[in-house]
Amino acid sequence: MQTFDSANFHLLCDKLTRKDRELKGIITQHGYPPLWTRPNTFQTLILTILEQQVSLAAAYAAFKKLKQKIGYVTPAKILQLSDEEMRACYFTRQKMGYTRGLAEAVQLKKVQLKKLRALPDEEVRSELIKLKGIGHWTIDVYLMHALQRTDLFPLGDIALVNSLKEIKQLHPHISKEEMLKIAAPWRPYRTIAAMILWHSYIKKRNIKLGV
């Protein structure tokens, strides 16, 4: 169960770039990617749910609106919001359900986020996948950014897939199995490779990030 942090992140990037010419090219051109981490909190998981299947800009707009409404996001505060108040924060009906379900699970201690830090990746996955609206992409992102695990490669992420296709000049309709084969030599640091690929995607498109 390996993790990364500010002390080893650049070293792991360097280890990968010695193995892979295209990843090295990204860092040569754009520098190291940011250390994209988030606290292991309920608020972080709410932001990740908001990011499902929408642009980052749309997710951040909803999250910002939510924080303006209730401040720091807690299960109790979420459960006090009406449908109308949540809609005003750009929540779809589906995401209202997911968010309230997560809030209830955390409040009733069915999910204890602090305890997840000590569990292997697959045990974390088996705990969170039980919750409605928490799928594999959300769990991958949580493992990568909140628990800082080193070997995730979420092919449910469109930006990651597109960046991989760009730098490796892959066929537009390449299968997930083939993409996983291409990523296999990056084990056990595929999270770091994913962050380098995201960095390339963001820089090429001049995307501005921020909550």
Per-domain residue ranges of the chain: 9-36+152-205, 42-145
Six token digits for residue 3: 């993790």
Helix (H, G, I), strand (E, B) or coil at 35: coil
42-145: CATH topology is Endonuclease III; domain 1 (1.10.340)
Matching fold, domains 9-36+152-205 and 42-145: no
Helix (H, G, I), strand (E, B) or coil at 137: helix
> Which residue, among 135, 139, 159, has the nearest Cα to 149 in the 3D structure?
139
Enumerate residues 6+ apart whose C-beta is below 8 A from 91.
50, 62, 66, 99
Tens-place pLDDT, residues 109-168: 999 999 999 999 999 999 999 999 999 999 999 999 999 999 999 999 999 999 999 999
Tens-place pLDDT, residues 64-102: 999 999 999 999 999 999 999 999 999 999 999 999 999
Do the beta carbons of residue 16 and residue 23 sit within 8 Å?
yes
- Residue 154, CB-side half-sphere exposure with 13 Å CA sphere: 20
Helix (H, G, I), strand (E, B) or coil at 202: helix
CATH, domain 9-36+152-205, list 1.20.1740, 1.10.3470, 1.10.8, 1.10.1670:
1.10.1670
Tens-place pLDDT, residues 2-56: 999 999 999 999 999 999 999 999 999 999 999 999 999 999 999 999 999 888 8
